[in-house]
Amino acid sequence: MEKRVTSHDVAELAGVSRTTVSFVFNDDKQYFVRPETRQKVREAARKLSYYPNASARALASNQAKAIGLIMTRDPHYIAADNFLPQIIGGLLDVVKEKQISLLIEWVEPGEQTHTYLSLTQAKHIDGMILLTPRFDDPGLKALEQLGIPCVIMGQVPGSNLAFVDIDNCAAAHVAVNHLIELGHSRIACITNARLSYSSASQRLLGYRQALVDAGLDMDEKLIREADFDSASGYTAMRSLLSSGSNFTALFAGSDTVALGAMAAIQEAGLTIPGDISIVGFDDIPEAAFYYPGLTSVRVPANEIARQSCYLLMHLMKGEAPASTSIMLPTELISRQSTCEIERSHKHQQGEKFVHFT
């Protein structure tokens, strides 16, 4: 069992005090260390392969140098979340640049308050990013009251916490309107999650408003709730198809759900977009490669992650950021899964498809 190398050892080898070593390693501008001394310290550290102890550092400085990504859905659904890799990719980019660590945590329903407080009070992390919390999350108020640095990816009405989001309602409106402009009037909707998740209810709202604004009838029988994964989208579409209601288009709350729906449609012997046009949401990297290429609302996942991270770091520094709520733009990406309703009566076979991406 080798003795651990401490700053004391480095100081000794370099012939300076521990304090100087600390100054060097923290690049303290305030206290000037002679370049020559600095060099000696660096070299001694290298020789001993010294790595400053993170816990001791955190304890002394009262900063964990870490942030947490907190997820509220349970691991089973996390596994089906095709959006997550993009988020993590974006986050990793920034935390690497800022030299801090990223913690990932899952909170059980009912345990929110405890988990949030325990994570921050225990100083495991300096701040947290909440990934799409639910409407009714009771922990949010606690976070707000205690003034804990926190950014929500998504929005929770009634909360004053900082957030980064897209305008789900408006984006859904655009998506559905696209279908309407193509001549569709019977448009089904499958949500991306249960409605206690704000993104799901917001997207549903946009769907409703688009129909209303276009003066179309709203048929509640054309609405289904899915549950994050493709399987639930598949089930929802089967239910729609067997319900007897007729429709010529679908607005899906996520690409993952849309994929399941597409499978159900094709399995039933119907064609896309010939019989049913589909618009998805998220524009995950795979959407362009689905068959047919899925028209979708591009959500700047990477940018959401990055902005959340930057915003959080501002809050952690105690700086008042320019804005505590950031809305990022979305864009409808048109591919082959949507077409004018007239075409639905034409023959669709042998059609060539061209990718837009």
Partner DNA sequence: AAGCTTCATTAACACGCGTTAATAGATTCT
Partner DNA sequence: AGAATCTATTAACGCGTGTTAATGAAGCTT
Q: Which amino acid type is present at position 100?
A: I
The torsion defined by the Cα of 345, 348, 349 and 353, in degrees rounded to 10, comes to 180
Closer residue to DNA (CB): 45 or 143: 45
Closer residue to DNA (CB): 23 or 251: 23
**Position 285 contacts a copy of itself (CB under 8 A):** yes
Query: What is the sign of the dihedral through the CA atoms of 35, 39, 42 and 45?
Result: negative
- For residues 17 and 7, give the distance between their C-alpha atoms in angstroms, rounded to a whole number: 9
- Report how many residues bind a copy of itself under the rule CB under 8 A: 72
Residues 6+ apart with CB under 8 A from 84: 78
The torsion defined by the Cα of 121, 126, 131 and 134, in degrees rounded to 10, comes to 30
Residue written as tokens 């060099």? 39
Residue written as tokens 């140098």? 65
Q: Which does 16 bind (CB under 5 to 8 A by kind): DNA, a copy of itself, none?
A: DNA
**Position 20 contacts a copy of itself (CB under 8 A):** no
Closer residue to DNA (CB): 49 or 349: 49
DSSP state of 134: B
**Position 125 contacts DNA (CB under 7 A):** no
**Position 6 contacts a copy of itself (CB under 8 A):** no
Considering the complex, what minimum distance in angstroms separates the CB of residue 59 from a copy of itself?
Answer: 4
311, 326 Cβ separation under 8 angstroms: yes
Considering the complex, what minimum distance in angstroms separates the CB of residue 15 from DNA?
Answer: 7
**Position 121 contacts a copy of itself (CB under 8 A):** yes
Q: Which does 186 bind (CB under 5 to 8 A by kind): a copy of itself, DNA, none?
A: none
Q: Which does 26 bind (CB under 5 to 8 A by kind): a copy of itself, DNA, none?
A: DNA
Closer residue to a copy of itself (CB): 81 or 137: 81
Q: Which of residues 54-73 bind DNA (CB under 7 A)?
A: 56-57, 59-62
Q: Which of residues 167-206 bind a copy of itself (CB under 8 A)?
A: none
Of 278, 231, 274, nearest in space to 252 by CA:
278
- Report how many residues bind DNA under the rule CB under 7 A: 33
149, 312 Cβ separation under 8 angstroms: yes
122, 335 Cβ separation under 8 angstroms: no
**Position 246 contacts a copy of itself (CB under 8 A):** no
Report angle CA 291, 294, 298 to the nearest 5 degrees.
Answer: 150
Q: Which does 234 bind (CB under 5 to 8 A by kind): a copy of itself, DNA, none?
A: a copy of itself
Closer residue to a copy of itself (CB): 4 or 29: 4
Considering the complex, what minimum distance in angstroms separates the CB of residue 313 from DNA?
Answer: 17
Closer residue to a copy of itself (CB): 25 or 135: 25
Closer residue to a copy of itself (CB): 17 or 357: 357
Which pair of tokens denotes residue 213? 């604004």
Figure out which of the listed residues 123, 221, 317, 346 binds a copy of itself, where binding follows CB under 8 A: 123
**Position 76 contacts a copy of itself (CB under 8 A):** yes
- For residues 133 and 261, give the distance between their C-alpha atoms in angstroms, rounded to a whole number: 25
**Position 18 contacts DNA (CB under 7 A):** yes
Q: Which of residues 323-352 bind a copy of itself (CB under 8 A)?
A: 349-350, 352
Query: What is the sign of the dihedral through the CA atoms of 28, 30, 35 and 40?
Result: negative
Closer residue to a copy of itself (CB): 31 or 356: 356
- For residues 299 and 216, give the distance between their C-alpha atoms in angstroms, rounded to a whole number: 27
- For residues 70 and 145, give the distance between their C-alpha atoms in angstroms, rounded to a whole number: 19
